[in-house]
Chains A and B, each alone.
Chain A
Amino acid sequence: MKCKVCKATAVVSLPSHNTGFCADCFMSFYERSVERSIRRQKLFTFEDKILIALSGGKDSLACALVLKKLGYNVHGLHIDLAIPDSSAAARGVVERFCDSHDIPLIIKKMEEEGLQIPRVKKVLSRSVCSACGRIKRYFFNKVAIDEGFTVLATGHNLDDEIARLFSNTLRWDIPHLSDQGPLLEAENGFARKVRPLFRLTEFENANYAFLNDLEYHYAPCPYSPGATSTAYKKLWNQLEEEMPGRKLAFYTAFLAHGREPFRQFEKEEGTKPVPCERCGYPTSVGICGVCRTRDAVAADE
């Protein structure tokens, strides 16, 4: 297979775009695609102070690298969850990445917050995954607001977005359908949230990470036996193989025609978040889930 642009031997084949690229042309294709997403969806500008959540996985690192290369003002945020055999490695990857790409890094240690995940796991009766996700989202938002960032970016890819949209659609979950998309404006105590890689698949991110020699963390979480979204991703990859381009079409058509009616409905019928009585960050009512988890961990001492 030849590169579509320069006719050299292709190293990445993209059936959804009916094309293939050599290393250099793939990287320009990828970077232009991110640039176009940012511009068309009006995600942010060169004036914005962007905080990017870095887990150490390929998607978040690829996101930080491409934004840095495109000239945006990016800072990293890593949440150290204090999970044995996992967190130290992930943190090391993020530290080395930020160091070599000259990206300032904030590390938030859950041990110091009384929210180290092994302790949280101990006080919970159900799976720790949803609590862990909630804690991470809470600190992404809190650090973005406390430190004066104008935008919070995450490395969610097209496969993540499709899996979530599909899951929300299977349940006709109106609150979640109303606020899914590459941009969530700041409101009610939430920072402005963006997903600049929403048009790029996990496969494209992996290729970009590889071609840029990114070392990334890919050991699965020792507490997670595999998320349900993995089953949706598998299903969608089968569909995409038979019908190339279906993922992006499903998602962009939702943004164009599906989201707004749900948003209108939710505006009229939905509940508005209020400040947590304890910490002041948004919650549906009373004391937020993170403050309650922190109390439970402290009570267990």
Chain B
Amino acid sequence: MQEDKVVYTKPYGVTVTLQPQNETRTLKARSVRQLLNIIKASPATVLVIRNNELLTSDRKLSHGDEIIVRTVVSSG
């Protein structure tokens, strides 16, 4: 995937949907860890989902990715 390198030097956007609130934002993040830092979520309290696949914090993100961040802490 040669294109990856090009993407990282361009203006950059990942669409993030926060659940359960169902708010959507576009952020500049190159990895899941960066994304979680921006939205101030701890990796152990959310599921990060891309194309129905779970991502760990070290995974890279690309321009145009659609990510779901689902909070797992329940209310009781």
**What is A's interface to B at a CB cutoff of 8 Å?**
1, 10-13, 15, 20, 23, 57-59, 129, 159, 201-203, 205-207, 210-211, 218-221, 224, 226-227, 229-230, 233-234, 237-238, 240-241
Residue B11, interface by CB 8 Å: no
Cα-based distance from A10 to B58 in the complex (angstroms): 10
Shortest CB-to-CB span from A93 to chain B, Å, is 14
Which residues B30-61 have CB closer than 8 A to chain A?
42-45, 47, 49, 53-58
Given the known A-B contacts A203-B44, A206-B47, are A227 and B76 also in contact in the complex, defined by CB atoms under 8 Å?
yes
Judging by beta carbons under 8 Å apart, are A11 and B20 in contact? no
When C-beta atoms are compared, the residue in chain A nearest to B20 turns out to be A218
Residue B2, interface by CB 8 Å: no
Question: Inside 8 A of A219's CB, which chain B residues have their CB?
Answer: 20
Cα-based distance from A108 to B54 in the complex (angstroms): 36
Judging by beta carbons under 8 Å apart, are A20 and B44 in contact? no
**What is B's interface to A at a CB cutoff of 8 Å?**
20, 42-45, 47, 49, 53-58, 70, 72-76
Question: Inside 8 A of B75's CB, which chain A residues have their CB?
Answer: 220-221, 224, 226-227, 230
Question: Inside 8 A of A12's CB, which chain B residues have their CB?
Answer: 54, 56
Shortest CB-to-CB span from B72 to chain A, Å, is 4
Question: Inside 8 A of B49's CB, which chain A residues have their CB?
Answer: 210
Judging by beta carbons under 8 Å apart, are B74 and A59 in contact? yes
Cα-based distance from A219 to B47 in the complex (angstroms): 16
8 Å CB contact of B42 from A10, A57, A224, A237: A237
Question: Inside 8 A of B53's CB, which chain A residues have their CB?
Answer: 11
8 Å CB contact of B54 from A207, A218, A229, A234: A207
Cα-based distance from A59 to B74 in the complex (angstroms): 9
Cα-based distance from A234 to B57 in the complex (angstroms): 20
Cα-based distance from A203 to B20 in the complex (angstroms): 15
Question: Inside 8 A of B45's CB, which chain A residues have their CB?
Answer: 203, 237
Given the known A-B contacts A237-B44, A240-B44, are A58 and B72 also in contact in the complex, defined by CB atoms under 8 Å?
yes
Judging by beta carbons under 8 Å apart, are A210 and B54 in contact? yes
Question: Inside 8 A of A57's CB, which chain B residues have their CB?
Answer: 74
Shortest CB-to-CB span from A124 to chain B, Å, is 18
Judging by beta carbons under 8 Å apart, are B72 and A241 in contact? no
Shortest CB-to-CB span from B61 to chain A, Å, is 15
Judging by beta carbons under 8 Å apart, are B56 and A202 in contact? no
Cα-based distance from A34 to B43 in the complex (angstroms): 23
Given the known A-B contacts A10-B56, A11-B53, A11-B55, are A229 and B76 also in contact in the complex, defined by CB atoms under 8 Å?
yes
Shortest CB-to-CB span from A162 to chain B, Å, is 13
8 Å CB contact of A218 from B55, B58, B74: B74
When C-beta atoms are compared, the residue in chain B nearest to A230 turns out to be B75
Question: Inside 8 A of B43's CB, which chain A residues have their CB?
Answer: 13
Shortest CB-to-CB span from A229 to chain B, Å, is 6
Shortest CB-to-CB span from B10 to chain A, Å, is 25
When C-beta atoms are compared, the residue in chain A nearest to B70 turns out to be A206
Given the known A-B contacts A58-B72, A219-B20, A227-B75, are A15 and B44 also in contact in the complex, defined by CB atoms under 8 Å?
yes
Judging by beta carbons under 8 Å apart, are B73 and A1 in contact? no
Given the known A-B contacts A219-B20, A237-B42, A237-B44, are A211 and B73 also in contact in the complex, defined by CB atoms under 8 Å?
no
When C-beta atoms are compared, the residue in chain A nearest to B75 turns out to be A220
Given the known A-B contacts A218-B74, A219-B20, are A241 and B56 also in contact in the complex, defined by CB atoms under 8 Å?
no
Shortest CB-to-CB span from A25 to chain B, Å, is 13
Cα-based distance from A237 to B71 in the complex (angstroms): 13
8 Å CB contact of A203 from B55, B57, B58, B72: B72
